[in-house]
Structure 1
Amino acid sequence: MADALDVYRRKRDFARTPEPAGAVAGGDGERRFVVQRHRASRLHYDLRFEMDGVLVSWAVPKGPTLDPSVRRLAMHVEDHPVEYLHFEGVIPSGEYGGGDVIVWDTGTWEPVHTDDPGAAVRDGELHAEVHGQKLRGRLVLVRRGEGEEWMLLHKHDEHAVDGWDPEEHPRSVLSGRTNDEVLADPDRLWRSDAPADRASVSLLPEPLPDEAIDELGALGKEGTWEVFGRTLKVTNLDKVLFPAPPDGQGPPVTKRELLAYTARIAPYALPYLEGRPLNMHRYPNGADAQGFWHKQRPAHAPEWLRCWENPDADEGETTAYVVPDEPAALVWVANFGALEWHPWTSRAESPHEPTYALADLDPGERTGWDDLLTLARLHRTALEHLGVTGRPKVTGRRGIQIWIPVVPGYIFDDTRAWVEKLSRTVGKVVPELVSWKWEVKQRKGLARLDYTQNAINKTLVAPYSPRPSAGAPVSVPIEWDELDDPDLRPDRWTIRTVLDRLAEHGDPFRVLLGSAQELPEIT
């Protein structure tokens, strides 16, 4: 039998959207209402009243107001679950209503002139006395004609305010955040039923408890380590894998320290690795020795370590890849001697469809760091002009990469052609900095804007992966405005410092996980 939320559920893929699936609730207790400021294809406000176990909803393009002289268009939309009262976050691009959402106002309400507000809605006129933090007093909704178009107004009462504009009150009443702040940090939600010091809740997987790191530290040169619910045999824990930092500030980095870092960073790095075949750059004798690529999942790998068998593998090619789908898998990879982690930019279930378009800014001998920053800023400007979401990442070595999330359906030829057009447009602005030659010698020391990485099994180093250099530098996502930081360097952060950065600033790449988009035409 159909229920009031069937239309709501049909429009959403709950494997992708963080919105609640919900169920029709009981009708006891105070009636609540919520107004959400929602930046989807267009900015609007969603006004929702709790009645008959659901939130009866209207989309108000210009938002509700306390000004009694103003009439607002309000479009009646599908009922939402009661759990939506406290929904604040980012609906992924490509999903219904994709965009960022804050709880702009919430409180209780009472129906006026009726004991059956559901019937009043069906009859086309609802009077509601609202008790919110921003909205107070009498709101009236009146249907216009036979469709879903309604009119919203505020009565002339003691709460009316002439000229009152909702856009002058942009912050969430739950978290205090603006839409921009939610978009920049969608990995947190606000628990209104929790004390203030515990109300902000991370959506990231739980980090490894300190006790597990202590257990690793207590082991001898080898042993078994319980980590993320898995038992790993760890070996050669005191072997030096990275030379001491070049500035002499600190000792060399041992395998024990690498494993501890990997366990701590795994919950942050996993969203960019899970579901993807992994190319492992192994240095079992440390970064000072010759490394090699290892792609084949070894026969001795534990059964729980996910494997993807490549149906397109020719004779002599890799037939089975490690797919790190849980934090312990990444710790296993590090224990296997992989100092660098290079996930595919497509997922195992759709290996020919990239999920990111990638721009790789590679300096030359004559192009300094300041020149590379100039090129990155020009990419920033171009993407802003196109309305495309992307984020930069320092590589931990010399360069900068820009990751641009795309909707399913593109093939690598599409993303490669688009990034080539983007980069060539940028290159025309500063032709004295850029070479399009393939051979390094032919570039004559100029930078290369490399679009050729947009190809199957062409991989760029993962966010938060170490690099095999002295001091164990890390490839770190940054915000666009950090390109203007005079202290920025491609190898600024190491496995000893990047966790403090994450604790203070969060993960700038997190926004990419909900921002898959179509690539606009570049003319």
Structure 2
Amino acid sequence: MKTQRSLRTYRAKRDFQKTSEPAPSDEVPRRRGEPPIFVVHKHDATQLHYDLRLEIDGALASWALPKGPSFDPKTKRLAVETEDHPLAYAGFEGRIPDEEYGGGDSLLWDRGTYETVPPGEAPAQRKKGHLTVQLHGEKLKGRWHLIRTKPQGKKAQWLCFKAMDGEADADYDVTAERPESVKSGRSATRGPVRKRALPQRPASTEQILQSVWPPMLAQLSVPEQADDATHVYEVKYDGFRALASVSSGSLTLHSRNGNDLSARFPPLAEALRQLRVTEAVLDGEIIALDAQGRSRFQLLQKGSDAEQRFVAFDLLWLDGEDLRQRPLEARRELLEQLLSGVKPPLQISERLELPADKALAKARSQGWEGLIAKRRGSPYVGSRSSDWLKLKVQAGQEAVILGYLPIKNARAQEQIGALLVGVHGPDGYHDVGKVGTGFSSETRRELRALLDRQRVKAPVAVDAQPRPGAVWVKPKYVAQVHFTEWTTDGRLRHPVFQGLRTDKKPQEVVREQVPSPRKAATKSKAPRKSGARRAPSALSARATRAKAPPETEELARLTHGERVLFPQEGLTKRDVFEYYREAAPLLLPVLANRPLAVQQWPAGIQAPGFFRHELSGMPDWLPTLRVKHEAKMLEHVNVQSLDALLWLANQSALTLHIWSSHAPKLAQPDWVVFDLDPGKGRWEDLISVATALREKLEELGLESLPKTSGKRGLHVLVPLAPGHTYAQTQRFAEKIAAELETELGSIATTERTIQKRRGRLYLDVGQNGRGKTVVAPYSLRAIPGAPFSAPLSWSEVTRKLDPLRFNLKTLSQRLEAVGDLFAQALQGKQTLA
């Protein structure tokens, strides 16, 4: 009864229909004679603090330590006594709903047993106001004191400090050295998101989803291209790819092609709506389980009563923040926190803490389709990327239905006998064989009725084989098939029909092949620094010209690849095409949803070029961004994917110029930009002005990022937090430029007229206006040598800096040396005064 009375406050403050914290009725019995336990929770509520809990009189007496425990006996930490908690709370870890008492993440930071000194006096010492405890935890060890002081307000205040014993260490910061949970291993926490802190008019789930669209795709590979030191392994599920945007009970659930899936999978949609989150976008797979608990695509077909689940494997958006540039590990940790405590039909993807060979062996023994190998520290990009590798143990392939052979059984004339299937290639559809097994009689009838409405007189495949009695159809439907291998003539061996795919377009279906490893992409034995992007390799001009265009899975196709664009070096359009393919993981996060203008040189850089906002001949599949300019609306190419970037490369769009803001917040620039144009002046003057600019910004507490313009100039960007206007950035840039002109007027000027500059460096801040552009990082420039605009560290901005050494041929070397230095510009948190 005494225990129940002590837990009244705990019970009164919580709604156990909303919080996953244990109720007093969930109490677990303790065996007599067991030593008392203690735990410490790392709790990110109103502010991050540590909750010390000691088992006393059948409950957990609790104190909140704002700064956590210290091993320095001279450091006395405040400990505010809070309500007693039930003993079941000793195993609790999870997220308390934002609007509930104590809302935020709570990690089990330490646990163990304790005794008082002398033993058995915990109730008496607590009542007296001086507890001396010997802790036997995983992190906290030795003797500690808790001493009650004069009460301040309603809550009793104590001091917590380390006793002078053999465990004391003034130089050991335990909270910094050991931030992780002893239960889950997580270390990052997220505080509550208060409704009043969110926008008054929150975006719809559809708008939120579009802001992180399109989904990232994996590249088919072989185990040798993954490395245990640089990759983690997850189960590859056999189902429908799906992205779920959730906001306070509202839901948008789309396939990778943007088709709505909520009506088709209502139980999953309802479970996602019940997630306790203000805003989130989850990337995952909709699967159906067989009797052995394995995902099977064919069980997702109409009429199946198999158990369905939504398996989440990535988190792209959370409570107003775009997470795509965060490292893989950080996104996974937030996803685990968000889904802690959820039950089927929702689950998180399974990770295998095994080396690749053992993980693949397990995949085979379990009957899985395979594994996904994900590169540690990698961002989420809206394209197909080698940062995610598909390692298959069962061969699977999407195939476009090009026709069928009627069944020969006279009693089943309304059924198909076999499907005639193909894949898409650079020159059209190609025949890859027939699929005659895997159908039920009902499926054969349904497919016959479906396909008879799409009949055509001649096959659409460019290499269709003569087939007596064949019925040819329009390429409208996509089938999923399993098979044993590809034959030498490009056919499917022993294919088995699995079902129709409504999430794939026929023109997206290509023959999946493992790409040949390139020398510059050799495996690293050391893990990459967290947050750094993979350094893609740039093929040499000689190597790319010597090879035929690689088979791709993109919609964009290279034409006239042999055309020379850089005569002095002999670099062709194919070289440019391959350069932008390799630079895509770096460029896509910058370009997506950002208006851009391009400079095209279809006849090579020795001929006149063209500067354009709108481009002619844009295909229907190409994403665009309709933007209002001063006098009219313009349709910009929206480079959300590798397809769009390669389409521009095929248009000989060598140089890409970008706005400083991106949709849907086109009025809010992401940075202030200073363009230092030396003209024909001295390089030493440029370095002096750039150094002075950096120092002036640092005096204001602002960090900056330099990059070469790709020619002789230098761009200096000041990354900003959201919420600034173009008027603010323009005023700020003009003020700084004016101050620099006053101090360095002999070598720098804000004068636009070239004649009036008198050879001085031009401090150009005009790009800070709405609709003004700056050359994108990693964009090529149309001058001999094919240089690109290279992000720099300030330590490189010296008289020895040569911008021309950053070029099409040296991209891979540059990235292997420094990684993607521009990533920080996309994560601005600075505010202008």
Letter in 2 for 1:160: A
CA contact (8 A) 1:107 1:130 kept: no
Q: For the residues of structure 1 that align with 2:778 and 2:63, how far apart are their CA atoms? A: 42
Aligned residue for 1:277? 595
Letter in 1 for 2:173: P
How far 1:154 sits from its partner (Å)? 2.7
Q: For the residues of structure 2 that align with 1:352 and 1:299, how far apart are their CA atoms? A: 29
Per the normalisation by structure 2, the TM-score is 0.45
CA contact (8 A) 2:327 2:376 kept: no
Distance 1:195 1:402, change over 3 A: farther
Distance 1:465 1:195, change over 3 A: farther
Match of 1:226 among 528, 548, 552: 552
Q: Deviations over 1:258-305 (max 9, x none)?
A: 1111111111122221111121111111122111112115353242x2
Aligned residue for 1:467? 781
Q: 3-state DSSP class of the match of 2:668? A: strand
Aligned residue for 1:480? 794
Q: For the residues of structure 1 that align with 2:688 and 2:785, how far apart are their CA atoms? A: 27
Aligned residue for 2:378? 202
Letter in 2 for 1:510: A
Distance 1:34 1:212, change over 3 A: farther
Q: For the residues of structure 1 that align with 2:63 and 2:376, how far apart are their CA atoms? A: 27
How far 1:465 sits from its partner (Å)? 0.6
Q: Deviations over 1:42-62 (max 9, x none)?
A: xx98658899xxxx997755x
Aligned residue for 1:21? none
CA contact (8 A) 1:189 1:203 kept: no
CA-atom RMSD, angstroms? 4.6
Letter in 2 for 1:110: G
Letter in 2 for 1:356: W
Distance 1:291 1:148, change over 3 A: farther
Match of 2:735 among 418, 421, 433: 421
Q: 3-state DSSP class of the match of 1:354? A: coil
Letter in 2 for 1:430: L
Aligned residue for 1:180? none
In the alignment, does 2:573 pair up with 1:255? Answer: yes
Q: 3-state DSSP class of the match of 1:65? A: coil
CA contact (8 A) 1:204 1:267 kept: no
Aligned residue for 2:112? 110
In the alignment, does 2:611 pair up with 1:298? Answer: no
Q: For the residues of structure 1 that align with 2:654 and 2:771, how far apart are their CA atoms? A: 19
Q: For the residues of structure 1 that align with 2:63 and 2:655, how far apart are their CA atoms? A: 49
CA contact (8 A) 1:406 1:517 kept: yes
The farther-off stretch of 200-209 and 342-351 is: 200-209
Q: Deviations over 1:136-167 (max 9, x none)?
A: 54667789754698754334443112x33539
Q: 3-state DSSP class of the match of 1:360? A: strand
Q: Deviations over 1:198-228 (max 9, x none)?
A: 99532354348882798x989999978524x
CA contact (8 A) 1:396 1:466 kept: yes
Distance 1:468 1:74, change over 3 A: farther
Letter in 1 for 2:161: L
How far 1:350 sits from its partner (Å)? 2.6
Aligned residue for 1:101? none
In the alignment, does 2:764 pair up with 1:450? Answer: yes
Q: For the residues of structure 1 that align with 2:636 and 2:157, how far apart are their CA atoms? A: 54
Distance 1:500 1:223, change over 3 A: closer
Q: For the residues of structure 2 that align with 1:57 and 1:320, how far apart are their CA atoms? A: 60
How far 1:341 sits from its partner (Å)? 0.9
Aligned residue for 1:13? none
Q: For the residues of structure 2 that align with 1:475 and 1:355, how far apart are their CA atoms? A: 18
Distance 1:218 1:420, change over 3 A: closer
In the alignment, does 2:695 pair up with 1:381? Answer: yes
In the TM superposition, 1:25-36 aligns within 5 A as none
Q: 3-state DSSP class of the match of 1:290? A: coil
CA contact (8 A) 1:64 1:72 kept: yes
- Consecutive unaligned residues of structure 2, counting only runs of 5 or more, are 1-16, 22-27, 29-36, 55-61, 83-88, 96-103, 117-128, 186-324, 334-351, 357-373, 390-513, 519-538
Aligned residue for 1:89? none
How far 1:395 sits from its partner (Å)? 1.1
Q: Deviations over 1:364-399 (max 9, x none)?
A: 32x311110111111111121111122011111011
Distance 1:124 1:274, change over 3 A: farther
Aligned residue for 1:3? 19
How far 1:129 sits from its partner (Å)? 4.1
- Consecutive unaligned residues of structure 1, counting only runs of 5 or more, are 6-26, 39-43, 85-96, 98-104, 115-122, 175-184, 245-250
The farther-off stretch of 372-381 and 292-301 is: 292-301
CA contact (8 A) 1:389 1:512 kept: no
CA contact (8 A) 1:242 1:470 kept: yes
Q: Deviations over 1:87-109 (max 9, x none)?
A: xxxxxxxxxx9xxxxxxx99753
How far 1:238 sits from its partner (Å)? 1.2
Q: 3-state DSSP class of the match of 2:75? A: coil
Aligned residue for 2:750? 436
CA contact (8 A) 1:33 1:108 kept: yes
Q: 3-state DSSP class of the match of 2:795? A: helix
Distance 1:218 1:432, change over 3 A: closer
Aligned residue for 1:342? 657
CA contact (8 A) 1:225 1:231 kept: no
CA contact (8 A) 1:358 1:404 kept: yes
Distance 1:501 1:150, change over 3 A: farther
Q: For the residues of structure 2 that align with 1:269 and 1:465, how far apart are their CA atoms? A: 8
CA contact (8 A) 2:38 2:114 kept: no
Q: Deviations over 1:98-135 (max 9, x none)?
A: xxxxxxx9975325469xxxxxxxx9999764424xx6
Distance 1:212 1:199, change over 3 A: closer
CA contact (8 A) 1:359 1:449 kept: yes
Q: 3-state DSSP class of the match of 1:233? A: coil
Letter in 2 for 1:378: A
CA contact (8 A) 2:545 2:574 kept: no
In the alignment, does 2:719 pair up with 1:401? Answer: no
CA contact (8 A) 2:65 2:79 kept: yes
Aligned residue for 1:412? 726
Q: 3-state DSSP class of the match of 1:260? A: helix
How far 1:67 sits from its partner (Å)? 1.5
How far 1:518 sits from its partner (Å)? 1.2
In the alignment, does 2:383 pair up with 1:68? Answer: no
Q: 3-state DSSP class of the match of 1:159? A: coil
Q: For the residues of structure 2 that align with 1:489 and 1:148, how far apart are their CA atoms? A: 65
Distance 1:264 1:409, change over 3 A: same
Q: How many residues align?
A: 431
Distance 1:73 1:494, change over 3 A: farther
Distance 1:166 1:401, change over 3 A: same
Aligned residue for 1:14? none
In the alignment, does 2:518 pair up with 1:510? Answer: no
Aligned residue for 1:211? 515
Q: For the residues of structure 2 that align with 1:501 and 1:50, how far apart are their CA atoms? A: 52
Q: Deviations over 1:408-458 (max 9, x none)?
A: 332212101101111222232222111221111111111111111111121
Match of 1:307 among 624, 637, 650: 624
Aligned residue for 2:685? 371
How far 1:516 sits from its partner (Å)? 2.8
Q: For the residues of structure 2 that align with 1:57 and 1:454, how far apart are their CA atoms? A: 52
CA contact (8 A) 1:395 1:491 kept: no
Letter in 1 for 2:654: L
CA contact (8 A) 2:594 2:662 kept: yes
Q: For the residues of structure 2 that align with 1:237 and 1:199, how far apart are their CA atoms? A: 32
Match of 1:322 among 637, 648, 652: 637
In the alignment, does 2:589 pair up with 1:268? Answer: no
Distance 1:68 1:494, change over 3 A: same
CA contact (8 A) 2:63 2:79 kept: no
Aligned residue for 1:242? 566
Q: For the residues of structure 1 that align with 2:729 and 2:70, how far apart are their CA atoms? A: 44
Distance 1:268 1:59, change over 3 A: farther
Aligned residue for 2:168? 160
Aligned residue for 2:138? 131
Q: For the residues of structure 1 that align with 2:353 and 2:795, how far apart are their CA atoms? A: 34
Q: For the residues of structure 2 that align with 1:277 and 1:288, how far apart are their CA atoms? A: 28
